[in-house]
Amino acid sequence: MENIGFALEGAWQVLLIGLLLGAGLPAVFALGIRSLAYGAGGAAETVDAGHAPPHPVGRLGAAVCFAVVLAGVALGITIVVASGFGKEVSFDHVVPSLVDK
Amino acid sequence: MTPELVILGLVVVTALAFDFTNGFHDTGNAMATSIATGALRPKVAVALSASLNLVGAFLSVEVALTVTNAVIKIQDSDGAPRPEFLADGGEALLVIVLAGLVGGILWNLATWLLGLPSSSSHALFGGLVGATIAGLGFNGVNWAGDGTKLDGVVGKVILPALLSPVIAIAVAAVGTWLIHRITEGVAERYRESGFRWGQIGSASLVSLAHGTNDAQKTMGVITLALLASGEWSDTTSIPLWVKVSCAVAIALGTYLGGWRIIRTLGKGLVEISSPQGMAAESSSAAVILTSSHLGFALSTTHVATGSILGTGVGKKGAEVRWGVAGRMALAWLVTLPMAAVVGAIAWYAADLVGGLPGAVVVFVVLVAASGAMYVRSRREPVDHDNVNADWDGMPTQAKV
pLDDT tens digits, one per residue of B19-53: 999 998 999 889 999 999 889 999 999 999 999 99
The pLDDT-based confidence of A59 (bands split at 50, 70, 90) is confident
A15 interfaces chain B, CB cutoff of 8 Å: yes
Q: Kindly report which listed range (A29-38, A79-88, B54-63, B286-295) carries the lowest average pLDDT score.
A: A79-88
- The pLDDT assigned to B397 comes to 43
- The pLDDT assigned to B63 comes to 61
From A8, A22, A31, residue closest to B175, measured CB to CB: A22
The pLDDT-based confidence of B398 (bands split at 50, 70, 90) is very low
Res. B159: pLDDT tops 70: yes
How many Å from the N-terminal Cα to the C-terminal Cα in chain A?
A: 28
- The pLDDT assigned to B271 comes to 86
Q: What percentage of chain B exceeds 90 in pLDDT? A: 36
How many Å from the N-terminal Cα to the C-terminal Cα in chain B?
A: 51
Res. A51: pLDDT tops 70: no
Beta bridge partners of A45: B186
Q: What is the dihedral of CA B33, B39, B45, B48, to 10 degrees?
A: -110
Region A16-33: what's the mean pLDDT?
Answer: 91
Region B64-86: what's the mean pLDDT?
Answer: 77
Q: Identify from A8, A9, A29, A92 which residue to disrupt to test chain B contact, counting B C-beta atoms within 10 A and taking the largest count.
A: A29
Q: What percentage of chain A exceeds 70 in pLDDT? A: 81
**Residue B307 in contact with residue B213, Cβ under 8 Å?**
no
Res. B395: pLDDT tops 60: no
- The pLDDT assigned to B393 comes to 52
Region A7-20: what's the mean pLDDT?
Answer: 86
Distance CA A1, CA A3 (A): 5
Q: Identify from B71, B190, B210, B292 which residue to disrupt to test chain A contact, counting A C-beta atoms within 10 A and taking the largest count.
A: B190
Listed in sequence order, the residues at least 6 apart from B351 whose beta carbon sits closer than 8 Å to its beta carbon are B95, B134, B135, B358
**Residue B325 in contact with residue B309, Cβ under 8 Å?**
yes
A1 interfaces chain B, CB cutoff of 8 Å: yes
The pLDDT-based confidence of B101 (bands split at 50, 70, 90) is very high
Q: Other C-beta atoms within 10 Å of B144: how many?
A: 18
Would you give the DSSP letter of residue B230?
A: T
Distances (CA, A) of B339 to A20, A51, B300: 36, 61, 18
Res. A22: pLDDT tops 50: yes
Q: Nearest CA of chain B to the CA of A95: how many Å?
A: 17
Q: How many CB pairs under 8 A join A and B?
A: 175
Region B382-395: what's the mean pLDDT?
Answer: 75
Do residue B150 and residue A3 have CB atoms under 8 angstroms apart?
Answer: yes
**Residue A65 in contact with residue B204, Cβ under 8 Å?**
no
From A3, A30, A43, residue closest to B155, measured CB to CB: A3
Do residue B294 and residue A25 have CB atoms under 8 angstroms apart?
Answer: no
Category of B323 on φ-ψ map: left (φ > 0), alpha (ψ -120 to 50) or beta = alpha
Res. B186: pLDDT tops 90: no
- The pLDDT assigned to B303 comes to 92
Beta bridge partners of B75: B81
Tell me whether residue B17 is exposed, middle or buried, using C-beta atoms within 10 angstroms of its C-beta: 0 to 12, 13 to 18, 19 or more. Answer: buried
- The pLDDT assigned to B399 comes to 38
Distances (CA, A) of A22 to A63, A81, B135, B290, B360: 20, 19, 43, 10, 47
What B247-250 contacts at long range (C-beta under 8 Å, 24+ apart), as own/partner pairs, is B247/B53, B247/B54, B247/B57, B247/B58, B247/B211, B247/B215, B248/B54, B249/B16, B249/B17, B249/B19, B249/B20, B249/B23, B249/B218, B250/B19, B250/B20, B250/B22, B250/B23, B250/B53, B250/B54, B250/B57, B250/B211, B250/B214, B250/B215, B250/B218
For residue A62, which residues of chain B lie inside 8 Å, CB to CB?
A: none
- The pLDDT assigned to A4 comes to 81
In chain B, alpha helices (H): 3-37, 42-59, 91-113, 120-136, 152-153, 159-182, 188-228, 240-256, 259-263, 274-293, 300-314, 322-353, 355-377
Do residue A22 and residue B187 have CB atoms under 8 angstroms apart?
Answer: no
Collapse the DSSP code of B13 into the 3-class scheme (helix H, G, I; strand E, B; otherwise coil) and give the result: helix
From A23, A40, A45, residue closest to B185, measured CB to CB: A45
- The pLDDT assigned to A2 comes to 73
The residue of chain B nearest to residue A66, with distances taken between CA atoms, is: B198
Q: Of B83, B85, B82, B56, which Cα lies nearest the Cα of B69?
A: B82
Res. B209: pLDDT tops 70: yes
- The pLDDT assigned to B52 comes to 93
Do residue B183 and residue A33 have CB atoms under 8 angstroms apart?
Answer: yes
User: What digits encode the pLDDT tens for the residues B331-386?
Assistant: 888 999 999 999 999 999 888 888 888 888 889 888 989 899 898 888 888 888 88
Beta bridge partners of B304: none
The residue of chain B nearest to residue A33, with distances taken between CA atoms, is: B194
Computed over every residue of chain B, the mean pLDDT equals 86
Amino acid in the structure at residue B177: W
The pLDDT-based confidence of B124 (bands split at 50, 70, 90) is very high
**Residue B321 in contact with residue B111, Cβ under 8 Å?**
no
**How many whole angstroms from its chain centre is CA B21?**
8
- The pLDDT assigned to B185 comes to 79
Res. B216: pLDDT tops 70: yes
Give, in degrees to the nearest 5, the angle at Cα B319 between B263 and B311.
75
Beta strands in A1-101 (DSSP E): 87-90, 97-100
B42 versus B158: which is more confidently predicted? B42
Region B116-138: what's the mean pLDDT?
Answer: 89
The pLDDT-based confidence of B18 (bands split at 50, 70, 90) is very high
A49 interfaces chain B, CB cutoff of 8 Å: no
B146 interfaces chain A, CB cutoff of 8 Å: no
Collapse the DSSP code of B227 into the 3-class scheme (helix H, G, I; strand E, B; otherwise coil) and give the result: helix
The residue of chain B nearest to residue A69, with distances taken between CA atoms, is: B198
A67 interfaces chain B, CB cutoff of 8 Å: no
For residue A99, which residues of chain B lie inside 8 Å, CB to CB?
A: none
Beta bridge partners of A90: A97
A6 versus B196: which is more confidently predicted? B196
Res. B319: pLDDT tops 70: yes
Res. B60: pLDDT tops 70: no
**How many whole angstroms from its chain centre is CA B388?**
22
